[in-house]
Amino acid sequence: MDQIDTSKYQNIRRSIDESWINVHPIQRGGILPSESKKALLSFADGYSTCDFCLEGRIDLVKTPPVFDFADDVAKFLNMDEVTFTPGARGAKQAILNSITKPGDYIVIDSLAHYTTYIAAEVACLKLSEVPHSGYPEFKIKAEDYAAKIEEIKKETKNLPAAILLTHVDYRYGNLADAAAVGKIAKEYGVPYILNAAYTAGIMPIDGKKLGADFVVCSGHKSWASSGPIGILATNYEFSKKTFRTSTIKGPWSGRSFTKKYVNIFGCPPVFGAPIVTLMSSFPHVVERVKHWDEEVEKIRRLIKELERIKDFHQLGQRPHQHTLVSFETPSFHKISKTHPRRGFFLYEELKKRKIAGIHAGMTKMMKLNTYGLTVEQLQTVADAFHEIARQYGVEVE
């Protein structure tokens, strides 16, 4: 073995702490309340949640109360059964593995997260994409799901194996009409997967009301959890299939593992930090979804403030329905062309003001998320942008 210099792994610390205003598009919903940091430290060691494991599966552990928790999360989402997965991505793979076979079609929205595409690739599925409306709103129309289902019926004489809708997409923060897609799913009798990675945990979700057969959530994205952890919620119709347990048998030893999930690695790999923080943040999450309207109001105010800058245009739905939002910012892009730091000037100007989370180097467009920031913090963000604009001769109305 060569000598390894391990000094660079000593004192690893995050450079952005609570004194910063962080508008990172994927980080706002995953910030831990202080209570969960204490729980995290208490359960810091690997397998720490397995002290009293009797059944060999984390979702059946009673101390700490994971078993009850799975049930309470199901209630919270108004679904029948829940388990936990290594990220929402893991939930999508488990679902597709359980209800499709290679060569099947699934219909997805064209704003889907990349992990939806990868899950389809792993399961060897054919994709049909529901188009979006293009610039500037990029909307998904629910009725296009019906059109795509009809297309597939015509081509294959069969229905697609599933349809998947991204409730709020990661690019524009558009809120899709999940209930309308649910109706179409029901009419055709096609299983309906709702990717609620950007909604469940920050806004109220009622899976049954939306007609979802599966609701997929992300703990680190929207449930104030360290993660990585996903939530896979389904109804009684599918739970047996998706949560099926092992039937393999050792041909010589006769060993079998009848309690272990096939589609989620046996015991879901979420023990320790992920499940403990998800669980300990749950009281906070149950409470915070009641205040979603205030969050929407705040982002709308910020959009208004930022659009005072010349050539700043919010992309996606108007009025906006989510704290994740994209802007095209050609006036700032123009600055980058002659600035010695090129596209990095914006990132660096914001950094000076202790504002983090805008993608470094990008000025053509920008994306941010304000979930959980205060009115005052958002005013600081608006002021910073105005200041930077003026500093570089861009008009602010």
Residues 39-78 that bind a copy of itself (CB under 8 A): 39-48, 50-52, 54, 63-65, 68-69, 72, 75-76, 78
Q: Closer to a copy of itself at the Cβ: 12 or 135?
A: 12
- Smallest separation, CB 390 to a copy of itself (Å): 28
| Cα separation values, 324 from 23, 31, 49, Å | 9, 15, 34
Q: Closer to a copy of itself at the Cβ: 35 or 177?
A: 35
- Can you tell me the distance from the alpha carbon of 351 to that of 345, in angstroms, rounded to the nearest whole number? 10
**Of 172, 243, 282, 371, which lies in the binding site for a copy of itself, with binding defined by CB under 8 A?**
282
Contact mark string toward a copy of itself, 134..173, x via CB under 8 A = ----------------------------------------
**Of 160, 228, 316, 343, which lies in the binding site for a copy of itself, with binding defined by CB under 8 A?**
228
Which segments of the chain does DSSP mark as H helices, in order?
34-42, 66-77, 87-99, 114-122, 143-156, 178-188, 219-222, 236-242, 273-280, 282-288, 292-306, 330-338, 344-352, 375-391
Instruction: Return the residues of window 368-387 that contact a copy of itself according to CB under 8 A.
Output: none
- 166: closest CA among 89, 236, 78, 86? 89
Query: What token pair was written down for 8?
Result: 């660079």
- Can you tell me the distance from the alpha carbon of 82 to that of 261, in angstroms, rounded to the nearest whole number? 13
- 388: closest CA among 337, 340, 331, 338? 331
**Of 103, 283, 319, 393, which lies in the binding site for a copy of itself, with binding defined by CB under 8 A?**
283
- Smallest separation, CB 311 to a copy of itself (Å): 26
Q: Per CB under 8 A, does 36 bind a copy of itself? A: yes
Instruction: Return the residues of window 308-327 that contact a copy of itself according to CB under 8 A.
Output: none
Instruction: With contacts defined by CB under 8 A, name the span among 179-187, 272-280, 306-314, 385-393 that binds a copy of itself.
Output: 272-280
Instruction: Return the residues of window 324-363 that contact a copy of itself according to CB under 8 A.
Output: 356, 360
Number of other residues whose CB lies within 10 A of the CB of residue 72: 14
Can you list the pairs that 176-182 forms with residues at least 24 positions away whose Cβ atoms lie under 8 Å? 176/109, 176/140, 176/142, 177/142, 178/210, 178/211, 178/212, 179/209, 179/210, 179/211, 180/142, 180/143, 181/142, 181/145, 181/211, 182/210, 182/211, 182/212
Instruction: Return the residues of window 115-134 that contact a copy of itself according to CB under 8 A.
Output: 115, 117-118, 120-122, 127-131
Instruction: With contacts defined by CB under 8 A, name the span among 30-38, 156-164, 297-305, 379-387 that binds a copy of itself.
Output: 30-38
- Smallest separation, CB 42 to a copy of itself (Å): 5
Site size toward a copy of itself (CB under 8 A) is 108
- Can you tell me the distance from the alpha carbon of 136 to that of 144, in angstroms, rounded to the nearest whole number? 19
Instruction: With contacts defined by CB under 8 A, name the span among 154-162, 233-241, 251-259, 372-380 that binds a copy of itself.
Output: 251-259
